[in-house]
Amino acid sequence: MGGQGDPDPEKVRAWCAFLAGLQGIALLALGVAGIALNTGPPVPQLLGMQLNMPHSVLLAVTGAGATTLLAWRRPLRWFLTAEFLVYLMLFVYGSAVEAGTTRRSWLDTDTAGNFLHAGLSTFSVALLLLIFLTPGAESRRT
């Protein structure tokens, strides 16, 4: 393992941290905007998504977590794993609610929110795969 064409594990980790940071900044901005716009009964829409208060807080917390933990390898992996699982469950549940197989929830997502959750889940698992499948990525314990 570790031939000439193998990518440098540190560069891969740096790119994954950079991408997680970009995602974190975008989610933090989206969540904070949703919190700021939640002033009355009509649920605010931003970028085609309904951003009620719980959804906005969840996005802001995800963004803050991603930007805070990107400097450390192991916490970033745990965070990306949790992000994958949480947003996958939210996508499945939100799709079930939209299909009419269950009642509305406190999150009250719409189609755009469901696609956001699917995208976040896919993005986090893609970063995890990059981190774990890079040869030599586990050579140092950090």
Per-domain residue ranges for the chain?
Answer: 9-38+47-133
Read off the pLDDT of residues 6-23 as tens digits, 9 standing for 90 and up: 677 788 888 888 999 999
Range with the poorest average pLDDT among 42-56, 70-84, 100-114? 100-114
Question: Measured at the alpha carbon of residue 87, what is the angle toward residues 71 and 55, in degrees to the nearest 5?
Answer: 95
The Cα 102–Cα 60 span in angstroms is 27
Average pLDDT over residues 33-38: 90
Average pLDDT over residues 90-115: 78
Average pLDDT over residues 56-60: 92
C-beta separation of 19 from 83 below 8 A: no
- pTM of the predicted model, to two decimals? 0.81
Q: How high is the pLDDT of residue 122? A: 95
Per cent of the chain over pLDDT 70 is 85
The Cα 140–Cα 120 span in angstroms is 28
128 has a pLDDT exceeding 70: yes
